[in-house]
Amino acid sequence: MSNKVNIFWFRRDLRLEDNRGFYKALHGKHPVLPIFIFDSEILDELPKNDPRVSFISERLQKMQQSLKDHDSGIAVYQGTPEAVFKQITSEYTIANVITNHDYESYSLVRDSEVQTLLESKGIGFYTYKDQVIFEKDEVVKSDGTPYVVYTPYMKTWKSQFKTAVDLKNYDCKSHFDNLLKGTSLPFLTLEDIGFEKSDIRVPDFDISPATIKNYQATRNFPSVEGTSHLGPHLRFGTISIREAVRKAISEKNEIFWQELIWREFFMQILWHFPKTVNNAFRKKYDLIEWRNNEKEFEKWKSGKTGYPLVDAGMRELNKSGYMHNRVRMLVASFLCKHLLIDWRWGEAYFAEKLLDYEQASNVGNWQWAAGSGVDAAPYFRIFNPTTQIEKFDKDHIYIKKWIPEYGTDQYPEQLVDHKMARERCLKVYKEAVSQH
């Protein structure tokens, strides 16, 4: 056995720069072996051309190239994290495993199993805050309980930000001398893990001064490139949240900034209320008698409801892995309220398709749309899918982009009548919320 090493385990923080856990690892007493694990339990659930797996693989290749310049590399494995750690601990003498926090429900269980295994071998397991500015219980009410309404949370977030914020750029590169050098490491490519390259690509993010400055004016119009496309980059950590906030501050765009705070709001909700992954935050809403018509669900998924803005959104999602936020709100409301299909079905479909899928934001926003979540829209507020077009795509530019047959007799008839669906929804919701 050689001398001791520290392992840095990359997960949803795929960058070599401004990475807090990696920086901490590089400051340890032992050389650092960076690793990534393609988790077989997750891969087994995904189609072989999943664009997120392609993106991760490409990103790892880039990191590998950069590390090679320093006579080092990243070891890439496939398997369950527990099995992989059993293997690594038999190959290296490990002092500590260091990583960044990950709060999704699956990750919490995974990390606790890995920690138990490592500690049984006398190896330390240390994790650091990296993916948020304020996490779980750092922004709470004065009595220590969590905020469940966004606006007061946002105000406290901002006032704490002024006094207690760490926007440090964690300079990892200056400490690459402490990487494990000159060893040959396993590096699994996309083909090696049995996947293939996807046609869907993750777009680059745009936090240029112009985009942030115009954000307020353009962000609601799906035909305009008016948002940042930061979603997948924050999801996989290809940009640090500190960098995103540094930019947002420099342009002083409060609205853009507040969107980033929504992300942290939902993350702390998931932490405090993990049951909301499967259960309504407001319990009464679990009494809704969903219709759950499978044929209608298929039409919604494939963008064939006969409501053009809903259909354009679903087709955008299916073809690109992205959907504009304004349209996400509409399609989610349409599924839950017009079709009376359980929000969990829609949440699962988004999880399958979105490049920026994030459990906290997805569950939080779906429950918001269904009316069952924290700070949710009142249930009787039902988007009208036709007047939404007048407001947000009046020249039908977005609709025509995603629905080539729009305006021809090839385009489907409306799946439900708006007035009838609205009244049906109000009746069913009212029955649920008036029960005790």
Core vs surface per residue 319-331: b (16+ CB within 10 A) or e: ebbbbbebbbbbb
Q: Which of 96, 99, 100, 228 binds ligand FAD (CB under 6 A)?
A: 228
Shortest distance, position 314 Cβ to ligand FAD, whole Å: 12
Q: Looking at 303-373, list the stretches that DSSP marks H as alpha helix, in order from N- to C-terminal side.
A: 308-320, 325-333, 343-353, 359-370
Phi and psi torsions of 274, nearest 5°: -60, -20
Gyration radius (Cα) of the chain, Å: 23
Among 13, 311, 316, 356, binds ligand FAD (CB under 6 A): 356
Structure tokens at 368: 């918001």
393's tokens: 């795509």
Which part of the chain contacts ligand FAD (CB under 6 A), choosing from 67-75, 171-179, 190-198, 227-235? Answer: 227-235
Interface residue with ligand FAD among 64, 131, 362, 388 (CB under 6 A) is 362
Contacting ligand FAD within 366-395 (CB under 6 A): 366, 369
Nearer to ligand FAD, 20 or 233 (CB): 233
Nearer to ligand FAD, 112 or 216 (CB): 216
Question: Taking CB under 6 A as the criterion, which residues in 336-355 touch ligand FAD?
Answer: 350, 354
Binding part of the chain for ligand FAD, among 161-169, 184-192, 312-320, 321-329 by CB under 6 A, reads 321-329
Residue appearing with tokens 């507040």? 258
The residue (of 77 and 265) whose beta carbon lies closer to ligand FAD is: 265
85 assigned binding-site residue: no
Tokens 């396993």 appear where?
A: 186
Q: Which window, 33-41, 70-78, 230-238, 311-319, contacts ligand FAD (CB under 6 A)? A: 230-238
* Strands laid side by side in the 5-10 sheet: 75-79, 32-39, 5-10, 94-100, 124-128
> What are the distances in angstroms from CA 56 to CA 34, 213, 242?
15, 30, 21
Nearest to 326 by CA among 199, 169, 220, 210: 220
263 binds ligand FAD (CB under 6 A): yes
Tell me whether residue 64 or residue 198 sits nearer to ligand FAD (CB atom): 198
Name the residue among 78, 71, 72 with its Cα closest to residue 56: 78
Q: Which stretch binds ligand FAD (CB under 6 A): 104-112, 254-262, 272-280, 289-297?
A: 254-262
Strand-strand pairing, 124-128 and 94-100: parallel
Binding site membership: which residues?
215, 256, 259-266
Binding site membership for FAD: which residues?
215, 256, 259-266
The binding site for ligand FAD (CB under 6 A) comprises 219, 227-231, 234, 259-260, 262-263, 266, 325, 328-329, 332, 350, 354, 356-358, 361-362, 365-366, 369
